[in-house]
């Protein structure tokens, strides 16, 4: 749980901080510009994570009315979450590599496993959220890039995106190997690049 909480917390914090930097104080006013995990946990999402190993954090509120260029700025706000996870994975990966070389940690010790999982779960969260399916971050990027004549159609699709993900999960398609295998393989490759170790996951 600690690596997952760290990954989700940094992800949501980055969304809020980027929005704040671009002129939107909504997340700050809601008390979401914090690295306290309790401020970002969604009760149902946390319970789902514990029971079925698929969960979510409480989305950071964003008000496009505060943004100078809402379509462009929403792209940066959306990319901030996955970007923070990749940066965190890189930092922890470098720390893990240093500790291994110094002989301080090693497999199968708990510190080694915790640090390894922190790197891997951050990479998985980043790459999964870049899938262009609402309400994932990738869909917001598409919404900022899609031609204006198709924007209304995309926004209609976005309103039902959450139900689509839940439906796919319930019928087993979202948890199928065909969906997660590319993300898993990519995460394993980047894990090795960041840590110098073969992925255990």
Q: Give the closest residue to 170 by CA, choosing from 8, 13, 48.
A: 48
Q: Give the closest residue to 92 by CA, choosing from 186, 2, 162, 185.
A: 2
> Which amino acids are annotated catalytic?
12
3-state secondary structure of 39: helix
Q: Tell me the DSSP string of 109-125.
A: SHHHHHHHHHHHHHHHH
Question: What are the structure tokens assigned to 173, written together?
Answer: 């398609």
- The residue to which tokens 């720390």 are assigned: 95
Task: State how far the alpha carbon of 115 is from the alpha carbons of 70, 187, 191, 199, in Å.
Answer: 37, 15, 11, 12
């Amino acid at each position: 749980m600690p690596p997952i909480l760290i990954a989700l917390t940094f992800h949501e914090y980055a969304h809020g901080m980027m929005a704040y930097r671009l002129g939107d104080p909504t997340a700050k006013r809601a008390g979401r510009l914090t690295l306290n995990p309790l401020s970002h946990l969604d009760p149902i999402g946390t319970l789902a994570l514990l029971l079925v190993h698929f969960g979510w954090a409480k989305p950071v509120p964003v008000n496009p009315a505060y943004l100078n260029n809402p379509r462009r700025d929403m792209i940066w706000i959306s990319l901030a979450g996955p970007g923070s996870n990749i940066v965190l994975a890189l930092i922890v990966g470098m720390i893990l590599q240093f500790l291994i070389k110094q002989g301080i940690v090693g497999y199968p010790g708990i510190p080694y496993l915790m640090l390894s999982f922190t790197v891997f779960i951050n990479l998985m969260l980043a790459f999964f959220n870049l899938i262009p399916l609402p309400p994932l971050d990738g869909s917001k990027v598409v919404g900022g890039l899609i031609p204006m004549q198709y924007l209304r159609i995309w926004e209609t699709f976005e309103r039902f995106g959450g139900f689509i993900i839940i439906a796919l999960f319930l019928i087993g398609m979202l948890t199928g190997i065909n969906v997660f295998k590319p993300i898993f393989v990519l995460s394993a490759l980047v894990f090795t690049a960041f840590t110098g170790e073969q992925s255990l996951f």
